[in-house]
Chains A and B, each alone.
Chain A
Amino acid sequence: MTTSSQPTLRENPWFTHTVRIADLIEETEGVATYQLVMTDGNSSSMYEFVPGQFNMLYLPGVGESAISMSGDPDRNDGWIHTVRVAGNVTKTLARLQRGDTLGLRGPFGAGWPVSELVRKDVIIVAGGLGMAPLRPLVYYLMNHREQFGKIWLILGARTSDGLLYPSEYAAWRKRDIEVILTVDRATAGWNGHVGVVTQLIDRLQLSRPEQSHLVTCGPEVMMKYAAMSGLRLGIDAERIWVSMERNMQCAAGLCGHCQLGPEFICKDGPVVRYDRIRPYLFVEQL
């Protein structure tokens, strides 16, 4: 039951909930995953979201940061966020401990097109921390595995230390997801692929490209090349999806910061269909 006085997100997108850090896991250097639980209510649907959506995390006195959900959309045990220390907000967040509180509003944005992926083959391309917003999609596909065709997950990072969630790959593979890993630079003990993700996309043998989707999240330049590789494999731009990043402040299309061409990345995205964003993606300083 939620508190009746709470406005809907539509009525007041600024309404901020108190969340408590229930758990935190150090992933790699400067990257941690937080489990945040709401202190103001306990409805069964309170942690509902679409894979690819994000929350605004608020550190009073410092500011807000848009952070994608990285947990399982079918579980209801808190907001799961994997965060890398980058700016002032994430720097401050990194100093908090279990039991500390912060602010949260959301979920915001358009997520991965899960219903369009049904009965399709799916190529998931993740670069570095770009795996975080894709993990909910991986979970979703696993949870409803029978609904989807072949699934590849191509995951790249600078070095093997940057490959997120390594302990889970075995479980993903067990659910018939082909997990392909690559690093830009091999370090001791690495005996997998070395090179950029696009090389691995190019090598895929798609049995039905017209029934395949490519979804990608990572550095913008990586996503551009991943999309181009997808096109080369015969996947139409309407079936390629990228998760964009821009300066998001209100998350509700009201403050103007995150625009890219006619798109508000916060509300029309962050997941955008490639054919919609392509004309703007290659224009400098847009």
Chain B
Amino acid sequence: MATPISPLFIPKPHLQLLLNELRHRGYSVVGPTVDQEAIVYGEIQSIEQLPQGWTDEQAPGHYRLKRRDDNAWFGFVVGPHSWKKYLFPPKTTLLTAEKTESGWQFIPRSADTTKFALLGVRACELAAMRIQDQVFLNGPYQDPLYRERREHLFVISVNCTQAASTCFCTSMKTGPRCENGFDLALTEIDTGFLCEVGSERGREVLDAFVSLARRASEGSSVASNSNNDCVTANEICFATPEQLKSAENARQQAVDQITRQMETSDLPGLLLSNLDHPRWKEVGERCLSCTNCTMVCPTCFCSSVTEVRDLNMDRVERERTWDSCFNPDFSYLGGSLVRNDTASRYRQWLTHKLDGWHAQFGTSGCVGCGRCITWCPVGIDITEEVAAIREETSP
């Protein structure tokens, strides 16, 4: 396929045809939708299910779903869910053990053929996927379920056009612009979306979608060259310079709204060299050890395996569930706990995320999405904690 083609303009209602095309190709399309007074990720069939006209207001320990004064479809930031639930599900069976006459037999879980198309992935979330790829695919061992689902994944990212007070992707150099890692990328402007292609697979789906749209609009012209002239706003054409400009402005608005920062120049290093810092004890007194930050984090990958058995023990399933370094049992070793207070568990989380992660996976474990700040019931702010450790460190 020829290199950079300028973005296509897709009128808003046409997005339904893209969903149809993906569903036709066997994808289960998941995207943002309003549920439980929040914008969550769930399966969607129709563009009507998108959070049209909704936004989110976020601050440490605070999230509110709010009406917008316009009808933007992606006019919000990131919510309580992350995409990791599709690639690394909260609960999954790893193995089944069956008792037979010749003893125990172990049956690996059968290959997963679920195909997910994610709609509305933000730049920080693309970064989170890259990080989980490092964890689950690029080390000495792979997670088979993650691999299978990742191979089949179709990603439609959406560029942020606004930011929450908790966002700090610019510090982590993960956004807000979607640079790569997507099949298609959208930028929302008033009347539609500008669509960029990020992969061969994305190109193929887009082409099919365009012909679908062409058939749907019967005879109205669809651009096939660069000097097209769109007659009406209901057509798919190459974006006009005005549209490109307005997309650029929309994206810049997100950049301008980001106020939160995390200094990263001394990471890795700062935290692992301050393991005795008094701040750990202080934050340990505020922290609930409730696991919320780790559960909402799009990169946290800890899990535990439990035995699910029938009483006769003829059949046992090994079930893997999301776990958290904030759980006391997490560090259980020979009858006692290695990390036996909240301060030590918070220290583990933060030093791992921002420091040890670099040595383990060649990247920070933080993408600056701000979820751990928003969804901490007592509003502990990761950026503030790092800054406190830095400030109070005698050089």
Contact = CB atoms under 8 A, between A and B. Distances in A.
Are A and B direct contacts in the complex by CB distance below 8 Å?
yes
Interface of A: 7, 9-18, 20, 39, 58, 60-64, 86-87, 100-103, 245-247, 249-250, 252-257, 259, 261-262, 264, 267, 279-280, 283-286
Contacts of A20: 103
Given A249-B305, A259-B356, A283-B275, A254 B136 contact: yes
Contacts of B275: 280, 283, 286
Given A87-B335, A286-B275, A254 B301 contact: yes
Contacts of A15: 106, 108
Interface of B: 94-95, 97, 99, 102-106, 108, 135-136, 139-144, 272, 275-276, 301-305, 307, 309, 313, 316, 318, 323, 325, 330-335, 338-341, 344, 347-348, 351-352, 355-360
Contacts of B323: 255-257
- Secondary structure type dominating chain A contacts: loop
Contacts of B355: 262
Contact of B139 (A253, A257, A280): A253
A279 B141 contact: no
Given A16-B95, A61-B313, A262-B360, A255 B302 contact: yes
Contact of B94 (A14, A18, A87, A262): A14
Nearest to A21: B103
B344 A286 contact: yes
Nearest to A86: B334
Contact of B143 (A63, A254, A264): A254
Contacts of A267: 139-141
A285 B302 contact: no
B303 A255 contact: yes
A103 B97 contact: yes
A257 B141 CA distance: 16
Interface centre among B102, B108, B344 (most CB of A within 10 A): B108
Given A7-B108, A13-B142, A259-B352, 16 more contacts: A13-B141, A18-B103, A18-B106, A245-B334, A246-B338, A254-B136, A256-B323, A256-B330, A257-B304, A262-B357, A267-B139, A284-B344, A285-B344, A286-B275, A286-B339, A286-B344
B131 to A, nearest CB: 14
Nearest to B302: A256
The 10 A-B residue pairs with the shortest CB-CB distance, nearest first, are A101-B103, A256-B302, A252-B141, A262-B356, A285-B344, A60-B97, A262-B359, A16-B106, A60-B316, A61-B309
A104 to B, nearest CB: 9
Contact of A102 (B104, B142, B305): B104
B360 A12 contact: no
A60 to B, nearest CB: 4
Q: Max chain B CB contacts within 10 Å: which of A11, A58, A103, A254?
A: A254
